[in-house]
Structure 1
Amino acid sequence: MQRLYKALLLSGFLGLASSPTLAQTAFGIQTEFDITYGSGTIAPEGVPLERDLLMDVYTPSPENVDYTRTTSAEPGPFPAVIYVHGGAHHRGGRRQEPFRLEAAVHSRPEDYARLLTPMGYVVFVIEYRLATENPEPAVKPGEAGLLPDVDAYITPEVFEATKRARGAMGLLQLEDTPEDRLFLWKAGMAGAEDARKALDFVIANADRFNIDPERIAMGGHSAGGGITLNVGVGMQAPLAAIFPLSGPDILYDHAPLIASGDFPPTLLMYSQFDEHTQLGDLPDIISLLRAGRADYTLAWVPGFAHFYPHQAVSLGDDGTRAAVGDRIIRFLEQNLRN
C-alpha cells in the first residue's frame, strides 16, 4: 500500500491549490470552479497533513432567462442541491470523463448539475477525500452514534466489491485483514464528514450563493449515495430532501436513529442488475426508513447494471414511468419549492 501513496503524491494533489475560477455564462448556467469549502486530514506515507476540499458551483443565470425557469432580473434565493460523486470511495471527482461499463454510459456529476441548474437550483458538485489518500476521519468506530464494529460496515461483500474496483483501477490489492478493513472504513467515514462540511459551508455562505438554507437537498450515486444517506439519515443533517442513487447502508447504528425519526424525504433508486452489495443492503435501508416514519419513494432502473445515465427510464413504486433525471426533478419540486 505504500507504493500506492507514492503514486498519489505524483498524481492526486496536482491542482489542489488552484483559486476559484469564474467561467462564462451560457445556456442559463453560470459556473464557478475550485471553491475551497474546508479541509481534511490525509496521511500519505503515514504522515498526516491537511489538504483543501473543493467544490464547483452551478448557478441559474438571469442573463439567459430563456433557458431557465427564472424570469426575474434579480432572482433568488434559490433552492440548492449538493451532488456527491461515486467511485467506490477510490475514484471520481467533480469533473471527469464519462464512465462506460456493460454498454452503459454513466452520467457525470456535471451532467446532473447542468440538468438541474436551468430548473432553478444552485448545484454544488463536491469532491471528498478518497481511500487512495489514506484519509483520517475525525471520529472512530463506535463514536457519535457510529456502529462499533468495523466489520458490520465492511462486510465480506463490501470488501470483495472494493477489490473488484481496485482491480479495475490497477491498484494494489488489499488483504482481508483488520488493518485493511479499517482502511476502507476510514474512507467511508471521511467521505461522509467531508460532505457534511460542504453542507455546513453552503449554509454559512447562503447569502454569497443566493440560496435558501432551509431548502437544500443532497444526492449522489453509489459511494455518493451512501455518503448522502450517512449525512441525511446517519448525521441527521439539516437537509430538506435526499436522493441516494444505488447507495449502500449507513455507518450508523439504526436503533437510535429510529427513536428520533427525524429523516428527510428520500428518493431511493437502484438498477435491476445493481451491485449485490447495494441490493443486499436495500432491505435494511427500507426497514430503517419505515421504522423512522420517513417519507420515502423507491424507484428501479430496468435493464441496467450498477451504472446508468440520467436519461434511463425508471419505474416508481407508485406505478409511474419516468427518466431518472425527470424523477429527480419531480422529487425536488415536491420538496424544495415553496
Structure 2
Amino acid sequence: MIRKSVWLSVAAFLLFSAAKSGNADQVFGYETELDVVYGTGKIAPDGIQTERELRMDVYSPSAANADYTKAASVSDGPHPAVIYVHGGAHHRGGRRIEPFRLEAAVHSRPEDYARLLAPLGYVVFVIEYRLATEYPEPALAPGEGNLIADVDAYITPQVFEATVRARNAMGLPRLENSPEDRLYLWKAGLAGAEDANLALEFVIENAERFNIDPERIAMGGHSAGGGITLNVGIGMDAPLAAIFPLSGPNILFEHEAVMDHPDLPPTLLAYSQFDEHTQLSDLPGVVSLLREAGVEYSLSWIPGFAHFYPHNAVSLGDDGTRMSLGDRIISFLDVHLGSK
C-alpha cells in the first residue's frame, strides 16, 4: 500500500512538472513549437536516393513576459520573423545542441539567439538542413542558375582543409581532396542553401499560421550558417528584409550575375579577430560584392575571439560603435524589420 502511494505521488509530481514545463518558456517571454516539418530533401547516404523530412523549431513572443527589456508590451502581431541557420562546416550542428567550447570561448547555440530575439517581438525559426554526411542531392548542378561553374573556385584548398579539421574532430575518415570529394562538399553547401530557401518559402506560405509579416523576414547564422544566409539572401535573391551572416564564407554564385539583382537585403557582417583563414580571406571579396551591388551593409569585429564566440561578446562596428554582438543584431533588426 505504501509502495502504491509512493508511485501515485511520483506520477502526480511528474504530471505537475510536465504541465509546468509546457508553459515554463512563457515566463521568459516566448513559447515554442518544436519539430515543425517545413519540407523534404533528397539524400543518398547508402548510395540509394531517398527523401527525409526537414524540421524547424519555432519560438514565438509570449505576452506572459512581453518585451521585458523595453518595458513595453509586444503587439498582437503580425510579428517580424527571423530564420536562424546553424553552423558546423556543413557536417555537424542542428536546431538544439550542447554548448560548444573552444579556446576558452563558449559559443552561443542557435536556440540562444532564438531566446534572445523572441521576447522582443520576433518569431524565430531555428532550422535544420541536410548535412554532408547524409550525401545530399541538390536540385542544381555547377554552372546552373548563376552558380559558379568551377567547383574548385568554391572548394578552395583553405575550405577543404578547414572541413578536414571539422571531420577529424568528429572522428570521420579523411577526405582525399579528389574531384569527387570536392564535389561532395560543394553539394553539401548548395543543399544547405536550398533547404534554407525552402524554409523561407514555407514561412511565407504559413505567415498567417505563425502570425508573422511575410514582408519583414530576416535570416542569419554563423559559419556555414552565415554562408547559407549569404547564398540565400544575395545569391538566390530571396525576399528577405535583412540578413546577418556571422563569420560566413564566400557565396556559391557568380558575383557579376548577383550584382544585377535589384533590392538586395541590408546586411550586417560580423567576423572575429582570429577567425578562420577561409573566412578572413573571403571577406574582401564579399565586401566588394556588396559594395558594387549597392547593398546597404555594415561590418563589425569581435575582438579577442577565434571562430567561435558568444552573442554577448563585445563587437566593434565600422561606425565606431561598441556593443555586444547580440545588441548589435537587435539594433540592426529593429531598424530594418521594426519589432512591434
User: Would you call these one fold, judging by a TM-score over 0.5?
Assistant: yes
Q: CA–CA distance in 2 between the matches of 1:333 and 1:66? A: 13
Aligned partner of 1:306 in structure 2 is: 307
SS across alignment from 1:67 = coil
1:149/1:66 Cα in 2 relative to 1: closer, same or farther (>3 Å)? closer
What is the Cα deviation at residue 175 of structure 1?
Answer: 0.5
The structure whose Rg is larger is: 2
What does residue 42 of structure 1 align with? 43
- 2:202 and 2:227 map into 1 onto residues whose CA distance is 20
The CA deviation at 1:68 is: 6.6
2:183 & 2:150 partners in 1: Cα distance?
10
How far did 1:259 drift? 2.4
Which residue in 2 is equivalent to 1:258?
259
Contact kept in structure 2, 1:28 and 1:68, CA below 8 Å: no
Amino acid at match of 1:260: H
Task: Report Cα offsets for 1:285-311 as digits up to 9, x if no partner.
Answer: 000000001000000000000000001
Code of the aligned partner of 2:73? T
Report the 3-state secondary structure (helix = DSSP H, G, I; strand = E; otherwise coil) of the residue aligned with 1:117.
helix
How many Å separate the matches in 2 of 1:214 and 1:261? 16
Matches within 5 A, 1:142-291: 142-291=143-292
Counterpart AA for 1:71: S
How large is the Cα RMSD of the aligned pairs? 1.3
Where does residue 322 of structure 1 map in the other structure? 323
Task: Kindly indicate whether the alpha-carbon contact (under 8 Å) linking 2:61 and 2:118 is maintained by their aligned counterparts in 1.
Answer: yes
Tell me which amino acid in the other structure corresponds to 1:32. E
Match of 2:117 in 1: 116
Match of 2:62 in 1: 61
Structure 2: how far apart are the matches of 1:317 and 1:246?
A: 16
- Any idea what the Cα deviations from partners look like across 1:184-217, whole Å, max 9, x if unmatched? 0000000000000000000000000000000000
Q: TM-score, normalised by structure 2?
A: 0.91
Aligned to 2:15: none
Deviations 1:194-242 (A, max 9, x none): 0000000000000000000000000000000000000000000000000
Distance of 1:260 and 1:67 partners within structure 2: 39
Q: Normalized against structure 1, the TM-score is what?
A: 0.91
Aligned to 2:138: 137
8 Å Cα contact 1:68-1:120 kept in structure 2: no
**How far apart, CA to CA, are the structure 2 residues paired with 1:154 and 1:121?**
35
Who is 2:7 aligned against? none
Q: Structure 1 stretches of 5 or more lacking a match?
A: 1-21
Q: Distance in 1 between matches of 2:163 and 2:263?
A: 31
* Structure 2 counterparts to residues 80-95 of structure 1, below 5 A: 80-95=81-96
* 2:66–2:120 contact (8 Å) kept in structure 1: no
**1:82-131 residue CA offsets vs partner (Å, 9 max, x unmatched):** 00000000000000100000110000000000000111100000000000
CA distance in 2, matches of 1:66, 1:38: 31
Measured in 1, the distance between the counterparts of 2:69 and 2:47 equals 48
Say how many residue pairs are matched: 316
> Secondary structure of 2:46's partner?
helix
Q: Aligned to 1:214, what secondary structure does the other structure show?
A: strand
Unmatched segments (≥5 aa) in structure 2: 1-20
* Whole-angstrom distance in 1 between the partners of 2:210 and 2:322: 34
CA distance in 1, matches of 2:66, 2:305: 36
Q: Which residue pairs with 2:73 in the alignment?
A: 71
Partners of 2:246 and 2:270 within 8 A in 1: yes
- For the residues of structure 2 that align with 1:257 and 1:55, how far apart are their CA atoms? 28
Counterpart contact for 2:67–2:121, Cα < 8 Å: no
Residue 27 (structure 1) shift: 1.1
Secondary structure (helix, strand or coil) at the match of 1:260 reads coil
Q: Is the 8 A contact 2:216 2:241 kept in 1?
A: yes
Distance across 2 between alignment mates of 1:330 and 1:260 = 26
